[in-house]
Amino acid sequence: MPTSSGLAPVEGGELYYEREGSGNPIVWLHGGFLDRRLWDPQFPRFSVRYDLLRYDQRGYGRSDRPTTEYAESFDLRHLLDDLGIASAYFVGLATGARIALDFAAAFPTRVDGLVAVAPTIEGYQPATPEEEALWEELDRKEDAIEALARTDGPERALQARVDLWAHAVDERTRGELLTIALENRARALREPNPFRQKLSPRTIDRLGAIRCPTLVVTGELDFPGFVGIANLLIDRLPIAQHSVVAGADHLVNRSQAESFNELLDGFFSRLDFILMQRGTTH
């Protein structure tokens, strides 16, 4: 159980958050069809040494649905300001990684380290015709899932979505993920969201503003297009490395939780040392 939880004000609503542990802060950002519970396997391990914060993005979990224009990175800033967190490490998966990258480019002094898992980034263009064909194939699969929602209902469609993105998890984990997805069904089925504002200039055009050490993580069994995004980040970020987790699908932290945790443990330890050298530990 979290040591604290609550609702933080943002423009036009509130964000639900949970906080646990003590030490240098780590902020965890969930992916597109789930909520804060994505990180359940990580909280018991890392709360022993760190101050962990996870939250539901607008329209997910216990957070308010968007009713006014907003930008996710500014929501995150409001949350950190409300909780008195000046800077932190950030871990984001998929959409969560995009938000973390957006935040790091907009507010670089507030990010001490960044883990981008199966990252997306707005404005990315495939590097080769072969990669472009892969993304087109993925779009067709996603379109088929949306069609399935219309013909067979949301539960059947979300079963297909979990199978697409979490095909390497065990049955117990699959059941947990499906439950979370069903509770977030409107957003999990890519309901249009006209209120979310895209950043200008785009983060992809100012990756050099991100000054912190960055670990980019992809799963060996994930959709191969994410390797292209990982390569772009490694090429453009000033301090970055790429790790591929064997046997992991898109939800690396769920399909190979122990390997993922060990990878993060080593990375966080290096970040701790850097902060200690600077004399800026929290």
The pLDDT confidence band at residue 135, using thresholds 50, 70 and 90, is: very high
Residues of the chain with pLDDT > 90: what percent?
91
| Nearest alpha-carbon partner for 253 in 20, 94, 113, 61 | 94
Residue 201 vs residues 26, 75, 123, 205, 239: alpha-carbon distances, Å: 27, 18, 11, 7, 21
SS3 content of the chain, % helix, strand, coil (to 5): 45, 20, 35
Helices (H), 95-250: 95-106, 129-152, 154-165, 171-183, 185-188, 225-236
Mean per-residue pLDDT of the chain: 95
Check if CATH label 3.40.50.2020 holds for domain 4-127+193-278.
no
Provide the residue type at 219 as one letter: G
pLDDT at 3 (0 to 100):
77
Give me the mean pLDDT over the 1-16 stretch: 90
pLDDT at 1 (0 to 100):
53
Which residue is it, tokens 């979505």? 161
In sequence order, what are the beta bridge partners of 49?
none
28: pLDDT strictly greater than 70 = yes
* pLDDT tens profile 167-178: 999 999 999 999
What's the pTM value of the predicted model, to 2 decimals? 0.96
The pLDDT confidence band at residue 192, using thresholds 50, 70 and 90, is: confident
Domain ranges (residues) in the chain: 4-127+193-278
